[in-house]
Structure 1
Amino acid sequence: MNKYMRMVLFGLIVWLVPFILSFAFVDRQGNFTIDETFFKSIMVVTGALVGVVLAVRYFRDVETGYVNEGITLGVIWLVVNLALDLVMVSGGFFQMTVVQYFTDIGMRYLVMPIYTMGMGYALMQRTS
């Protein structure tokens, strides 16, 4: 599989796992069944766990250009996750405006390029 397709596929998985898990904590009317802050913490931790596992898996096949690969991977994941969420916001699935979305959820996705670049940098340091 093409490396960019793999990056996009992994980005979809990083988004999909917390999304599916979220159904366990929201009722049919869209209300949280647990404290909202706790729900958001679960989503952030789940996304980070899935993201790190998939980033480690991705970097197993990288032999050079670790930092550039980390930047590319993180940016692709950021774009994929923001795009999928914005489809949900514009479709009315999330009951919020785009501005509310970015202040409440969207900014959290910046962690993706941070940890993928960090992994790339660590691998570069290890191999030099």
Structure 2
Amino acid sequence: MEQRLKKTGRLLLYGALTWLVPLLVAIPFYGPGGGLLVDVFLFKSVMIVVGGVTGALLLVHWFDGVQARHLGEGVTVGGVWLAMNWALDLLVLVPVSGMDIATYFGQIGLRYLLIPTMAIAIGYSTGRAAAR
């Protein structure tokens, strides 16, 4: 039971980090009035790279301890982290930005599908490697 709670806590912590790290990196790109200080496309590119690197590093660390059910683990981790990122954005980012839900998903939310994509790919590949 204690092992399961520890794993769940780590799952939630890592999921929160996939959201928090890009948020913290984004802050210096905005001026005191809330306006973007750089080209919007440069900003979006930086956010995709930061989010991708953060997610990849956390996934590599996560799967380091996985001994079985690799693909299932990828589906679970990817789904939980995706849901967490969407929920945190809906609680924090959407109200602050004033975006409607459709605009949010069109401009930002769909990009989070990279999380389960990467998690499932790593789960699949680590499972294949473990089977060899």
Q: What range describes the TM-score normalised by the shorter chain of this pair?
A: over 0.9
Map of 1:102 onto structure 2 = 105
Q: 1:95: how far off?
A: 2.6
Map of 2:57 onto structure 1 = 53
Kindly provide the CA deviation profile for residues 80-104 of structure 1, in whole angstroms up to 9, marking residues without a partner as x: 00000001245x2113111110100
TM-score (norm 2): 0.92
Q: Percent identity?
A: 35
- Rounded Cα–Cα distance in structure 1 between residues aligned with 2:124 and 2:90: 30
Superposition RMSD on alpha carbons, in Å? 1.1
Map of 1:77 onto structure 2 = 81
Kindly provide the CA deviation profile for residues 62-92 of structure 1, in whole angstroms up to 9, marking residues without a partner as x: 10000000000000000000000001245x2
- Which runs of 5 or more structure 2 residues have no equivalent in the other structure? none
- Which runs of 5 or more structure 1 residues have no equivalent in the other structure? none
Structure 1 residue 66 and structure 2 residue 70: aligned? yes
Map of 1:29 onto structure 2 = 33
Aligned residues: 127
TM-score (norm 1): 0.95
